[in-house]
Every structure is written in structure tokens, then in C-alpha cells.
Amino acid sequence: MATYLDCNATTPIEPEVLEVMLRYLADEYGNAGSRTHEFGVRAKQAIERAREQVAAVVAAQPDEVVFTSGATESNNISLLGLSAGAESATGAGRRHIVSTVIEHKAVLEPLERLAAQGFEVSLIHPDRLGRIDSQAILAAVRPDTLLVSVMHANNETGIVQPIETIAAGLPETVYLHVDAAQTFGKLIAPLQNPRIDLISVSAHKIFGPKGIGALISRRRNGKRAPLSPLMLGGGQERGLRPGTQPVHLIAGLGVAAQLSLRDHAQRQATCLRFRDGVLTAMAQLGGQANGDQEHCLPHVLNVSLPGLNSEAAMVALKGILALSNGSACTSTSYEPSHVLVAMALDQDRIESALRLSWCHLTPAVDWPQVCAALRRMM
């Protein structure tokens, strides 16, 4: 069976997470909205416990956590919900948004919709190493800027962006949203910055279940960002995410968040040791790392192998490694990576790019076998 090296797409589930999910599926199956009996009370208690566990990771308050279906929905609420809510609260005077061209499609596509509705969107390009210049972001901010939205780490390259510097330089009137799908529970201190107003979280990136995530909506100066719901039909999650709460998924996210704090140092050390083997093997093949390796997540490597198309490489590694050549969310499109294109890499390098992403649960890899399989195709 192939060794799984696509953890940026989704991670395996932690046994402790699965255990709590099964309990709330099979035994504690009450609806948290049922207040007339103990099943509902225990379900509500489980949700509030998970809210505390998620909040602790980013040093937020439990009531600042809104459960969603994942980071995609959290991004949409942050962008579309804020634009609608701010207009309702303050009028149409602030219709400018600053973001980057390397964002996930769950940010770029809502921004396209807002642009079609009359908002002006300024998108900042990265340098050739995939880093966004914080000063370029700050220089793009204007008196009518409503929001700055910058991902914490890119899902394709693993390059970490300077959100702390951006947060420190923003005017008080501008909201800051961070898509932290790839970093929540992995990079702890930066996301605890109280100047970050909105944080998007996904459970299945931190060894939890698919289909659940969170939006952290912090108070700043006693006030939350004025978000409007995208759906209507109930009062759950402060009215921002109506519908029956999936207790088993929420409880799973809560435990996954708790474990991410408890085991952070150990997980990171394991990933760094694994990274040494990846870098050695890719160097033997003449691989070129894409992105600034001094600002890269410890469990990700985007690498181009000269003379070897990425699709051919994945065929060669079938049954040996399970990996990708880009974002899982756009893997059916076969278009060149918008991230690598924005980095101004040449076409051959883009077409030969592979993304390897691993975790503390990844077993050892027979790297000589990997190298031999790839050399046969080169």
C-alpha cells in the first residue's frame, strides 16, 4: 500500500478523536437544541466543551467560536458576511478589500463575487519565493478599506506569510481575516494575536473529521466584526450558522484542537526529522524546492524535478507514494497552479512541481525505492 504524503489535502484521524465521535454517534445522540431532557443537555455540554477547546488554541473566548462546515464556509462568512454586515452597520462608504493572488479559491471566488457587486479588490503578488511583502499589503490599505484577508500558510507551497507584521501595521478601522486552514493547531503563537479579527479553521487538517470547522470572530475594543449570516433558519451559532449542530463532528474537532496543543512540540519534531529524509531524497534527484524554505511549514515541500512532468512522476510512484501536484480543491482542473504562476516560475518548473505533505502519523518511507522509480522516468 502506498505511503500517504498528502496531509495538506486531509489528515488521518487521531484515535482519540474517533473515539469521542463514535460516542456521540452511538450513545449520546441527543440534539443540542432539545432542552427538555438529559440527552439534549449532554449534547449541548459537549458542544460548549468543544468551543472551549478550539478557543484555547488561539487564546480566544469560547463565545468567539462559531462552528461551521469547514474553512471554506468560514472564509465565505468572513468575506461575504462582513461585506453585507458592514454595509448594514456603516453604510456603503467602505468598499475596498486587500488580499493576495495566492489565496485559496475559497477566498478568491468570494472576492470575485464582491468585485462584481461593486467592491474594489486589491490583490498583492508574492515574490519568487512565494512570500507576500507585508509592506505591500499595508501600502495598499486606504481610508475606505474594510478588510485585509491573508492566508497564514499557502496550501500548495507551505510558505508562511507575515501575518504578525501585517496585524501590527493595520489601522484600527480595518478588519483582519486569516485563512488558517493549514496552520491552526500547527503554528500556535501567531494566531493568538488579538489583532486578528477573523480566523478560519478546518478540522480535517488537524487529524479531525471532515465536514466541520470553525470561524473565530474575536471582539476588539468590545465589538465583534459585523457579520451577516449567509443562511437563515435558526438561532444556532449566534445566528451565523443556523441548523442542527452535528455534535459528533463538533466534539471531534474539540478533541483534535485539544491534542494539537498538548502534542504540538512532539508533532513538530517528528515532522522535522521526516523532512530531512525528504530533502535528501529530492536533492539526489536534482529537485528544486519551490518557495522560501526558511519560512516553510515543517511538514510540507513543494519541489520540481527537472525533466519529469508531475503527472508522470505520480504514475511512477503509484503504489509507493500518494502525493499531489497542487490543491486538492482544484485537482480536477488540470490548469497550472495559480500559486506557482504568481511566483513567476517558468513553465517547465511549474509542470514538474510535486507537493509532498506529511505528519506525525506518517510511517517511514523507502526513499531509495522512490528515487529508483523516479529515475526510470527521467
pTM assigned to the model: 0.96
Residues 343, 235, single domain; the answer is no
User: Which sign does the torsion angle of CA 132, 357, 187, 73 carry?
Assistant: positive
Rounded CA-CA distance 105/155 in Å is: 11
- Please say which residue of 225, 244, 262 terminates a domain: 262
Residues 326, 247, single domain; the answer is no
Element (H or E) spanning 375, and its range? Answer: helix 367-375
Residues 292-328: tens digit of each pLDDT: 999 999 999 999 999 999 999 999 999 999 999 875 5
More confident call, 91 vs 356: 356
Report whether pLDDT(333) > 70. no
Residues 313, 251, single domain; the answer is no
For the segment 115-122, the average pLDDT, to the nearest whole number, is: 96
Residues 309, 368, single domain; the answer is yes
Residues 272, 223, single domain; the answer is no
Residues 249, 309, single domain; the answer is no
In this prediction, residue 218 carries a pLDDT of 98
Q: Hunting for cell 497542487 — which residue is that?
A: 326
Residues 38, 151, single domain; the answer is yes
From residue 230, give the alpha-carbon distance in Å to each of 96, 111, 119, 203: 20, 15, 18, 21
Can you give the CATH number for the domain in which 187 is found?
A: 3.40.640.10
Residues 221, 236, single domain; the answer is yes
Residues 125, 174, single domain; the answer is yes
In this prediction, residue 93 carries a pLDDT of 79
Residues 238, 280, single domain; the answer is no
Can you give the CATH number for the domain in which 284 is found?
A: 3.90.1150.10
Rounded CA-CA distance 193/198 in Å is: 11
- Please say which residue of 209, 232, 262 terminates a domain: 262
In this prediction, residue 91 carries a pLDDT of 56
Q: Of 140, 195, 137, which Cα lies nearest the Cα of 164?
A: 195
- Please say which residue of 245, 262, 279 terminates a domain: 262
Residues 231, 279, single domain; the answer is no
Residues 240-281: tens digit of each pLDDT: 999 999 999 999 999 999 999 999 999 999 999 999 999 999
Q: Is 329 a catalytic residue?
A: yes
Domain hosting 58: range is 15-262
> Which member of 7, 271, 296, 329 is catalytic?
329
From residue 228, give the alpha-carbon distance in Å to each of 76, 77, 84: 11, 8, 6
Residues 363, 318, single domain; the answer is yes
Overall domain count for the chain = 2
